[in-house]
């Protein structure tokens, strides 16, 4: 790019991962060059190379402990689990034994052995459908990067003379890299690659640092020292803006910070303009997301996914005691509010141990959810025991995933009663019956909803899976992703039926998943009659504001009309025509 071209302002579009607006100075972080290392070693070098590996592991452990202390001081102790996850990978005996085996038997150098042993793990995580677990592949890569750097004694990059208004610009930022920069100076991250569940993004959110990902042409456009305007909501980055543009965004940033602060501190009820109370819950996968949700206004945890707990040990099911500590923390953090724990929902490719016992290669429609729990009741009962033992406050609930019929509910509840009796006899449980619900994710459950409702305390719509299974369209399959649409008439009718059956059966119905966090879909869910929505914590303040400006009666009229339409084109056209002004959204955001 010429000097003349570089004097011009450029606006780049990506995906906003952390909300907020900031103006700062770009600091380019180049990816580390691949380390050239020996491929094979001689037989007589095995002993010394094993020693070198163990020293590198020890040095990596010391570094991670230092980073943990740094993050505890700068971000808070509740985020220490992030470094704990890296320590667990580093200390995983199966991982270390495979590395040593490659050194001893295949005479691989430690650097090569580390990378090849890690490749299997990374491939495993990247192959999963859940974005959360795909991001865990990045955790493995970060541990490998640290370990290899210590093996070759590569000194980490030591930044100096950093601008006070630092915006890091990089293809991808790891915790390893982030730990080298002062978080109090960091005003934003501009990335080519990064997911919303990555640990870097979780840290950024807790520090209210805007993040934009998916900026493809950053190398050609952005240079260290360039002024940047970063909008973590719209996902735009303005490179070398004019002075007037900067002043305008600074005013906008101050207004946005004030607005966010007001909403975060807003603990008043969420009520429509015509007086209908709507309860907003937070979804969580890891312990530190629970207090974050409470801080952002959640009235409880509507869905605590337990799968991450099981990933702490990939050689066997996680122990009951380990689960107990996590569930006790969840119960303590929510206080007098409820927390709904979803029982294990790993598919047949979700965990090495369960892959062996489940078999098959159809994770979406294989042995998973309640099916897996009933097939292996001891694993299921171990989880139930941990939940019951942690439920001293009486605020935990259980929800069964992937329910397709009444039989599964009856059997699942019977095993819970057996566990309760066992614990009572040992003096480990003296509580009442725990509330139990089902995830409504399968068309079969929708058809049998009235019969299922007679056996449960609540219904929880897993909207992502319900859409996927109703339309036979995987949202991660590029060939059919366009079909994955909450406005499809079949999806709208299914959701409406859940709300109607719940009302008739006098059970609570809540909606989990991404649609609850979208202004348009939240508006429609309220109109259908849902009074409980569960979503990503960071969506709660905005959705609360949308609902407070919503008339339940008007939303119900909108839903009534949508249910009379028979094509997706008709529903989208109606939404864009009638809700544009009411929700104050650009047309392209109404259905995306």
Angle, vertex CA 73, rays to CA 67 and CA 79, nearest 5: 70
Domain boundary (234, 263, 292) is at: 263
Residues 212, 285: one domain? no
Q: Is position 490 within any domain?
A: yes
DSSP letter for each residue of 524-592: HHHHHT--EEEE-GGGHHHHHHHHHT--HHHHHHHHHHHTT--SHHHHHHHHHHHHHHHHT--HHHH--
What spatial distance separates the first Cα and last Cα of the chain, rounded to whole Å? 34
Domain boundary (223, 238, 263) is at: 263
Q: Is position 429 within any domain?
A: yes
Integer CA distances (angstroms), 284 to 218, 288, 309, 317, in order:
33, 9, 12, 21
Alpha helices in 224-368 (DSSP H): 243-264, 289-295, 307-310, 320-334, 352-358
As for how many domains the chain has, the answer is: 3
Closest by Cα among 9, 54, 284 to 151: 54
Residues 322, 419: one domain? yes
d(C-alpha 514, C-alpha 175), whole Å: 27
Residues 415, 530: one domain? yes
For position 274, which CATH number holds? 3.20.20.60
Contact between 211 and 16 (Cβ < 8 Å): yes
Each residue's pLDDT tens digit in the chain (592 positions)? Answer: 334 345 588 999 998 888 888 899 999 887 654 555 677 889 999 999 999 999 999 999 998 888 888 777 776 665 666 787 788 888 888 889 999 999 999 999 999 899 888 887 787 777 666 666 666 777 888 888 889 888 887 655 556 678 889 999 988 887 767 877 888 889 999 998 877 657 788 778 777 789 999 998 888 899 989 999 999 888 999 999 998 888 888 887 787 777 766 666 677 889 999 999 999 999 988 777 888 889 889 999 999 988 878 766 666 778 899 899 999 999 999 999 999 999 998 754 455 566 555 555 555 677 889 998 999 999 999 999 999 999 999 999 999 999 999 999 999 999 999 999 999 999 988 878 899 999 999 999 999 999 999 999 999 999 989 998 999 887 656 677 678 899 999 999 999 999 999 999 999 999 998 899 889 999 999 999 999 999 988 889 889 989 999 999 999 999 999 999 999 999 999 998 887 666 655 444 555 5
For position 27, which CATH number holds? 3.50.30.10
For position 82, which CATH number holds? 1.10.274.10
d(C-alpha 226, C-alpha 562), whole Å: 49
pLDDT on residue 345: 86
3-state secondary structure of 484: coil
Residues 147, 219: one domain? no
Adjacent-strand bridge partners of 400: 438
Residues 370, 474: one domain? yes
Residues 51, 199: one domain? no
Domain that residue 96 falls in = 43-151
d(C-alpha 125, C-alpha 141), whole Å: 11
Q: Is position 156 within any domain?
A: no
Instruction: Tell me the CB-side half-sphere exposure of residue 490, using CA atoms within 13 A.
Output: 15
DSSP assignment letter at 196: T
Residues 228, 103: one domain? no
Q: Is position 336 within any domain?
A: yes
Residues 391, 538: one domain? yes
Alpha helices in 75-206 (DSSP H): 81-90, 93-106, 110-126, 131-151, 175-178, 199-206
Residues 388, 459: one domain? yes
Domain boundary (124, 151, 178) is at: 151
Q: Is position 37 within any domain?
A: no
Instruction: Tell me the CB-side half-sphere exposure of residue 394, using CA atoms within 13 A.
Output: 4
Q: Is position 311 within any domain?
A: yes
List of residues 6+ apart from 560 with CB closer than 8 A:
none
d(C-alpha 399, C-alpha 445), whole Å: 14
Residues 315, 434: one domain? yes
DSSP letter for each residue of 9-20: -EEEE-EEEE--
On whether the pTM is more than 0.85, the answer is: no
Residues 190, 323: one domain? no
Q: Is position 38 within any domain?
A: no
d(C-alpha 76, C-alpha 68), whole Å: 10
Q: Is position 574 within any domain?
A: yes
d(C-alpha 454, C-alpha 175), whole Å: 48
Residues 298, 193: one domain? no
Count of CB atoms situated within 10 Å of the CB of 554: 17
């Amino acid at each position: 790019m010429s000097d003349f071209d570089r004097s011009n302002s450029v606006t780049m579009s990506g995906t906003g991962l952390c909300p907020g607006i900031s103006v700062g100075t770009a600091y380019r972080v180049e990816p580390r060059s691949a380390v050239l290392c020996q491929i094979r070693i001689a037989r007589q070098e095995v002993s010394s190379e094993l020693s070198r590996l163990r020293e590198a592991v020890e040095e990596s452990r010391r570094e991670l402990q230092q980073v943990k202390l740094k993050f505890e001081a700068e971000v808070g102790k509740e985020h220490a689990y992030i470094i704990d996850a890296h320590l667990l990978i580093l200390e995983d005996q199966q991982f270390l034994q495979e590395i040593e085996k490659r050194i001893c038997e295949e005479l691989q150098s430690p650097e090569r052995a580390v990378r090849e042993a890690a490749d299997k793990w990374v491939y495993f995580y990247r192959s999963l459908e859940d974005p959360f677990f795909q991001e865990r592949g990045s955790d493995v890569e970060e541990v490998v990067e640290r370990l290899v750097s210590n093996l070759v004694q590569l000194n980490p990059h030591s930044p100096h003379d950093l601008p006070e208004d630092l915006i890091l610009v990089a293809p991808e930022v790891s915790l390893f890299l982030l730990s080298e920069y002062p978080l109090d100076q960091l005003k934003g991250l501009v990335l080519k690659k990064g997911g919303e569940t990555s640990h870097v993004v979780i840290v950024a959110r807790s520090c209210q640092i805007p993040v934009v990902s998916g900026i493809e042409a950053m190398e050609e456009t952005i240079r260290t020292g360039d002024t940047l305007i970063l909008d973590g909501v719209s996902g735009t980055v303005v490179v070398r803006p004019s002075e007037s543009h900067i002043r305008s965004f600074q005013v906008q940033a101050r207004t946005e910070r004030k607005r966010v602060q007001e909403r975060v501190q807003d603990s008043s009820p969420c009520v429509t303009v015509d007086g209908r109370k709507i309860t907003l819950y937070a979804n969580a996968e890891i312990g530190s997301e629970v207090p974050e949700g409470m801080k952002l206004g959640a009235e409880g945890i509507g869905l605590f996914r337990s799968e991450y707990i099981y990933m702490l040990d990939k050689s066997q099911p996680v122990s009951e005691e380990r689960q107990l500590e996590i569930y006790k923390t969840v119960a303590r953090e929510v206080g007098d509010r409820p927390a709904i724990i979803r029982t294990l929902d790993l598919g047949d490719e979700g965990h090495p141990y369960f892959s062996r016992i489940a078999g098959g290669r159809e994770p979406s429609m294989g042995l998973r959810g309640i099916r897996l729990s009933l097939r292996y009741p001891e694993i299921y009962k171990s989880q139930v025991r941990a939940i019951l033992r942690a439920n001293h406050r009486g605020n935990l609930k259980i929800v069964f995933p992937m329910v397709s019929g009444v039989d599964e509910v009856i059997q699942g509840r019977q095993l819970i009663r057996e566990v309760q009796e066992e614990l009572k006899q040992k003096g480990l449980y003296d509580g009442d019956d725990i509330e139990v619900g089902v995830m409504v994710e399968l068309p079969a459950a929708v058809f049998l909803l009235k019969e299922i409702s007679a056996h449960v305390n609540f219904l929880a719509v897993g909207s992502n899976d319900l859409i996927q299974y109703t339309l036979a369209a995987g949202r991660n399959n590029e060939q059919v992703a366009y079909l994955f649409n909450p406005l499809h008439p079949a999806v709208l009718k299914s959701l409406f039926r859940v709300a109607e059956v719940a009302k008739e059966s006098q059970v609570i119905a809540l909606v989990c998943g991404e649609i609850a966090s979208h202004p348009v879909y939240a508006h429609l869910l309220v109109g259908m009659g849902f009074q409980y929505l569960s979503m990503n914590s960071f969506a709660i303040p905005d959705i609360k504001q949308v609902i407070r400006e919503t008339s339940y009666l008007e939303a119900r009229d909108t839903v009534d009309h949508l249910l009379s339409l028979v094509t997706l084109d008709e529903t989208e056209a109606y939404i864009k025509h009638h809700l544009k002004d009411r929700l104050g959204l650009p047309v392209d955001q109404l259905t995306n």
